[in-house]
């Protein structure tokens, strides 16, 4: 009985994971019945990671903005399009060094963040208006740079580097051994971090709600199983994609910054009650400005990765809805102050598998967008309903 209660509490707390498992079961059943393939095909999983890593990075930046009080950035898709257009021109036409080009892209992304952060944080124009104008501006600039065309003359060395795998070479048995060894290391790190965090919370007494031992054991076990499964599946292909390793580093860095540093906790305090945070001595304008500068930086990182994925630059701005969906499905609150990087990753996987499953089923892109819009609406609606109930 105690175990059932613990499972119910854990399921409620990790509702995004429950939704992810539900989507996987539904699509896997439909694909099996219709003989259209499998979501767990090793090449499909590897391609999913390479195709959606840049969207998850955008979603992490979006989460930082949302934490400050429900603010969002509508311009990220158009900014990615503009930055990829800029990258293709300076690499293909101007023949600049690849590393210099990447440096210029990162600087440009930061400048975009400074521009929008200034108007939002210090002039106090609503983020919706500022980023909407940014969406129009960056979209227009990308069209001017591309002249309505798609540039595909990106250097092969650049594309090959971003599309590479670790290990670069080796037999299938060697690749599998490396992937499984990495999986064991990931599991050990995850267990150590989880245990240390539980010990720290136990020492603080009633400050934090300490989950039951059964729920803790279940969480750690499921997490390790998932990590080993992913490593095993990638071991059946060419190993770990380079973008996967970069994504792990970014996720770990931002998880640490948001959960274990003072500026990270300021984000949550500001999202919870900006007026109270300001009265307690937090410079809310500076925090809000930092959130959008960081968004600009991660937008540039996402643009760099997207070029490696598409091997071209175009003015498309479709990642916006996927990044927002990843945030809200992953547990971020529309009001701000609630959300985690790990939740965003789960939300990103949910959106990626949703799109991938519909594509394998032969559902057209237009209907996929309809489903994406409904998922985003329901995710925000559920957050608002639960928020009202908790207030009562």
pLDDT digits (tens, 9 = 90+) for 75-85: 998 999 899 88
Please give the pLDDT value at position 1: 44
Lowest-pLDDT range of 120-134, 168-182, 241-255, 282-296: 168-182
For 294-332, b/e burial (b = at least 16 CB within 10 A) is bbbbbbbbbbbbbbbbbbebbbbbebbbbbbbbbbbbbb
Please give the pLDDT value at position 90: 84
Please give the pLDDT value at position 170: 74
pLDDT digits (tens, 9 = 90+) for 176-225: 999 999 999 999 998 998 888 888 877 776 545 677 788 788 888 988 99
49, 313 Cβ separation under 8 angstroms: no
> Max alpha carbon distance in the chain (Å)?
68
C-alpha distances out from residue 158 to 103, 211, 390, Å? 13, 46, 50
d(CA 79, CA 65): 16
pLDDT, average across residues 83-103 = 83
Please give the pLDDT value at position 5: 53
- Provide the β-strand partners of residue 313: 151
C-alpha distances out from residue 264 to 78, 183, 261, 297, 361, Å? 27, 29, 5, 17, 41
d(CA 334, CA 385): 11
In percent, the amount of the chain with pLDDT more than 90 equals 34
pLDDT digits (tens, 9 = 90+) for 332-354: 888 888 889 988 998 999 998 88
Q: Distance between alpha carbon 188 and the CA centroid of its chain, in Å?
A: 24
């Amino acid at each position: 009985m105690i175990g059932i209660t613990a499972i119910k509490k854990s399921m409620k707390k990790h509702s995004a994971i429950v939704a992810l498992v539900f989507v996987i079961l539904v699509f896997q059943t439909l694909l099996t019945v219709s003989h259209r393939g499998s979501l767990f095909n090793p090449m499909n999983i590897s391609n999913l990671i390479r195709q959606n890593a840049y969207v998850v990075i955008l979603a992490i930046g979006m989460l930082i903005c949302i934490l400050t009080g429900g603010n969002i950035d509508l311009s990220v898709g158009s900014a990615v399009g503009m930055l990829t257009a800029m990258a293709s021109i300076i690499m293909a036409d101007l023949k600049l060094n690849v590393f210099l080009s990447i440096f210029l892209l990162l600087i440009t992304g930061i400048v975009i963040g400074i521009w929008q952060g200034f108007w939002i944080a210090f002039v106090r124009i609503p983020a919706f208006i500022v980023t909407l104008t940014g969406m129009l501006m960056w979209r227009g600039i990308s069209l001017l740079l591309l002249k309505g065309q798609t540039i595909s003359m990106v250097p092969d060395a650049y594309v090959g580097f971003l599309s590479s795998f670790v290990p670069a070479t080796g037999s299938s048995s060697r690749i599998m051994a490396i992937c499984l060894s990495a999986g064991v290391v990931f599991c050990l790190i995850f267990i150590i971090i989880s245990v240390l965090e539980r010990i720290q919370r136990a020492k603080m007494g009633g400050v934090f709600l300490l989950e039951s031992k059964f729920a803790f054991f279940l969480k750690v076990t499921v997490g390790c199983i998932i990590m080993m499964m992913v490593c095993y599946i990638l071991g059946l292909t060419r190993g770990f994609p380079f973008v996967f390793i970069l994504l792990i580093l970014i996720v770990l860095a931002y998880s640490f910054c948001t959960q274990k540093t003072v500026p990270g906790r300021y984000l949550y305090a500001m999202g919870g009650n900006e007026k109270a945070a300001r009265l307690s001595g937090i410079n809310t304008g500076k925090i809000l400005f930092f959130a959008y500068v960081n968004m600009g930086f991660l937008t540039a990182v996402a643009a760099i990765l997207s070029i490696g994925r598409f091997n071209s630059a175009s003015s498309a701005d479709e990642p916006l809805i996927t990044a927002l969906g990843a945030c809200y499905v992953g547990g971020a609150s529309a009001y701000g102050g609630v959300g985690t990087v790990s939740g965003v990753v789960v939300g990103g996987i949910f959106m990626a598998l949703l799109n991938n499953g519909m594509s394998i089923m032969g559902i057209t892109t237009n209907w996929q967008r309809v489903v994406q819009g409904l998922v985003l609406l329901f995710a925000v609606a559920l957050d608002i309903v639960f928020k009202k109930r908790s207030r009562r």
